[in-house]
Amino acid sequence: MQKMNICFFIKHEITWGSSRERVGVYLQSLKKRNHAYRIISIIPDKLSRIGLGKRVNNPRIIRAIYSLWYSKILRYSKFIYLITIAKKFDLIVIQKVNIPFFLLKWLKAINKNIIFDFDDLCFLHEELKDIGLIARLKLQWRHWYQDPKVLTLFKHVIAGNKYLAKIAQDAGQKNVSIIATSVDCNIYFPAVKKPDPTLVIGFTGAGENHLRHLSLLTGTLAKIGKKHRFIFRLIGAMHSDKIKALFFSSSFVFDCIDWMSAEQLPLAIRSFDIGVMPLIDDAEARCKCGFKALLYMASGVATVVSPVGVNREIIQDGVNGLWAQNDNEWIEKLSLLIEDKALRHNLGLEGRKTVEDRYSLVKTSELFINTLETAAGA
């Protein structure tokens, strides 16, 4: 394959969230293949922190103005700029950014080699198809849900799991690859010795995106705290008063961290004894790619998840982690791990092995780059 010139069009800067994990982790491998790339991000890093952080507690009118600026104006203006330079690239990869149909058609008229990569729900799903037109337009405007038919405009679609792949295939897209969100096992690895003797149950995630899922743990942790001593460490509250209010309790210590850099996160996860990923079972949750669980597992941390979507594929209950399907099971499984250090250790070892065998960056890099090369050369 000859040298490619690739443009990645992403929502946040390459150091942020899924932009980093779905694109940034592969940049060094692209360089080794002698491919050139350019990154166009919609929202600057500082603006991302404000938007997902302190803004959540601002008055509604302030939040609406802010959303109009970064979600609409910046998105449209930068995409139009991409259209003006599209001829320069052999391939354009749009990572999870929803773009109106007519703008995509315009881009495709200039450069047909366009890939869409997504690891989250950003399309109207089955549960919303029967709602009225006004409601659908409201969802599209406020939440950036789109009709999945837009996926047929792309030459190829990369999906983070089978559920997302099916959305694309049901819409009529024939060229679909499933590439899991991978973990760099050289960065996320087990702690040699945990410095803090106090048991830590940990969660990591960005802001109020996880508020309703975290609510599953409120009563659970309070009940466990009456019997066991532990710290609940939550990374990524992003200044949300609602998240902080969920875990105000006299039963356990709540260590709430508003934000942490990508460089600090691996060390913080190694401080966990147990990692949790609660999910309410619905279409939005089934679109998730289990990345939190994979980070815990790569770090040798015993992991408890809601068995929703891809979590059922990643975790084998009792083998490399545990499932918790309701309040009673959350209490039972977390209590079991708190009391049994050997079980925590064994599940951590098996979890690490699972990530190394199936979800490591080494495993996915070749597949990702080959997919790009095929799309550009076909």
Could you report the per-residue pLDDT of 109-124, keeping only the tens digit for each? 999 999 999 888 777 5
Has residue 378 got a pLDDT over 80? no
Q: Is 187 within a domain?
A: no
What digits encode the pLDDT tens for the residues 79-96?
999 999 999 999 999 998
The average confidence (pLDDT) of the chain is 88
Lowest mean pLDDT among 16-30, 117-131, 140-154: 117-131
Q: Is 190 within a domain?
A: no
Give the pLDDT confidence score for residue 64 in this predicted structure. Answer: 62
Rounded-to-integer distance, Cα 356 and Cα 184, Å: 9
What is the CATH classification number for the domain harbouring 210? Answer: 3.40.50.2000
Same domain, 171 and 220: no
What digits encode the pLDDT tens for the residues 18-57?
899 999 999 999 999 999 999 999 887 766 665 555 555 5
Q: Is 245 exposed, middle or buried (0-12, 13-18, 19+ CB in 10 A)?
A: exposed
State how many domains the chain has: 2
Nearest to 237 by CA among 17, 53, 67, 58: 53
CB 22 within 8 A of CB 96: yes
* Containing structural domain, residue 352: 200-359
Q: Is 194 within a domain?
A: no
Same domain, 370 and 292: no
Q: What is the pTM of this model?
A: 0.89
Same domain, 207 and 93: no
Give the pLDDT confidence score for residue 188 in this predicted structure. Answer: 97
Give the pLDDT confidence score for residue 38 in this predicted structure. Answer: 97
Nearest to 125 by CA among 136, 114, 134: 136
Same domain, 154 and 303: no
What digits encode the pLDDT tens for the residues 348-364?
999 999 999 999 999 99
